A and B are shown apart, each in its own frame.
Chain A
Amino acid sequence: EPEVTQTPSHQVTQMGQEVILRCVPISNHLYFYWYRQILGQKVEFLVSFYNNEISEKSEIFDDQFSVERPDGSNFTLKIRSTKLEDSAMYFCASSEGGFFGQGTRLTVV
């Protein structure tokens, strides 16, 4: 069964550092998404990406964040100058959002 793959599964970074979270969406899907879930909180939409550009973003997705599809398979979320409150599970989803990856747990220390 096709799946969305995310790496790494867990990332620990120091406050102020940049991190790149990686996702390999399902191959024939066209829409890609990033969501995050702070521990104990609801899953929140960050950004959607279609045809190599952002199609929608939430208020959370400010200048600290960027997304890229550097090649035909990978989809990345970059977080610059990480803050303690960026600690969360970050989920990539593809196509109509029905397919989520297993997530990257980001811990900022």
Chain B
Amino acid sequence: QKEVEQDPGPLSVPEGAIVSLNCTYSNSAFQYFMWYRQYSRKGPELLMYTYSSGNKEDGRFTAQVDKSSKYISLFIRDSQPSDSATYLCAMSSMNSGYSTLTFGKGTMLLVSP
């Protein structure tokens, strides 16, 4: 079983739609959960960072973590064509230092005008 699973997409939505991106994981030791945005052939850009379970909101972005289900989500409201990118989830356990990140494969999002 892979440690972090993420549907690769592509996920195509019209501008203005609400987007839901998800990851599941198997390692119950993961405590820190991140979402990154990556444009083609560029470095990952940190969007959201959440510790343990709960919700976190930042502008149009909301991150949710459900540790009991080992399931994390990123919601994007009022999606824009500029949101078109690959979204990576990443997570880390406290024991290994929160920056030794285990990534999902990424979901490609396409927002059409």
Asked if A42 and B42 make an inter-chain contact with CB atoms under 8 angstroms apart, the answer reads no
Q: Does A102 reach chain B (CB closer than 8 Å)?
A: yes
Q: Does B98 reach chain A (CB closer than 8 Å)?
A: yes
Smallest distance from the beta carbon of B94 to chain A beta carbons, Å?
Answer: 12
Main secondary structure of the interface of A (DSSP, over half): strand
Q: Does A75 reach chain B (CB closer than 8 Å)?
A: no
Asked if B100 and A97 make an inter-chain contact with CB atoms under 8 angstroms apart, the answer reads yes
Asked if A93 and B99 make an inter-chain contact with CB atoms under 8 angstroms apart, the answer reads yes
Known interface pairs A55-B97, A96-B98; A44-B45 also in contact (CB < 8 Å): no
Q: Which residue of A lies closest to B49 (CB)?
A: A98
The interface residues of chain A lying within 8 Å CB-to-CB of B96 are 56
Q: Which of B42, B92, B100 interacts with A103 by CB under 8 Å?
A: B42
Query: Roughly how many angstroms separate A55 CA and B49 CA in the complex, as a whole number?
Result: 23
The interface size bin for chain A is: 20 to 34
Asked if B102 and A100 make an inter-chain contact with CB atoms under 8 angstroms apart, the answer reads no
Asked if A97 and B98 make an inter-chain contact with CB atoms under 8 angstroms apart, the answer reads yes
Q: Does B44 reach chain A (CB closer than 8 Å)?
A: yes
Asked if A100 and B99 make an inter-chain contact with CB atoms under 8 angstroms apart, the answer reads no
Smallest distance from the beta carbon of B38 to chain A beta carbons, Å?
Answer: 8
Q: Does A28 reach chain B (CB closer than 8 Å)?
A: no
Asked if A102 and B100 make an inter-chain contact with CB atoms under 8 angstroms apart, the answer reads no
Considering only residues 36-72 of chain B, those with a C-beta below 8 Å from chain A are 36, 41-46, 49
User: Can you list 30 A-B pairs, Cβ within 8 angstroms, ordered by A?
Assistant: A4-B43, A33-B99, A35-B101, A41-B105, A42-B88, A42-B103, A42-B105, A42-B106, A43-B44, A43-B90, A45-B100, A45-B101, A45-B102, A55-B97, A56-B100, A91-B43, A91-B44, A93-B99, A96-B98, A97-B98, A97-B101, A98-B49, A100-B36, A100-B46, A102-B42, A102-B43, A103-B41, A103-B42, A103-B43, A105-B41
> Given known contacts A55-B97, A100-B44, what 14 new A-B pairs fall within 8 Å (CB)?
A6-B43, A31-B99, A35-B101, A43-B44, A43-B90, A43-B101, A48-B99, A48-B100, A56-B100, A89-B41, A95-B99, A97-B98, A98-B46, A103-B41
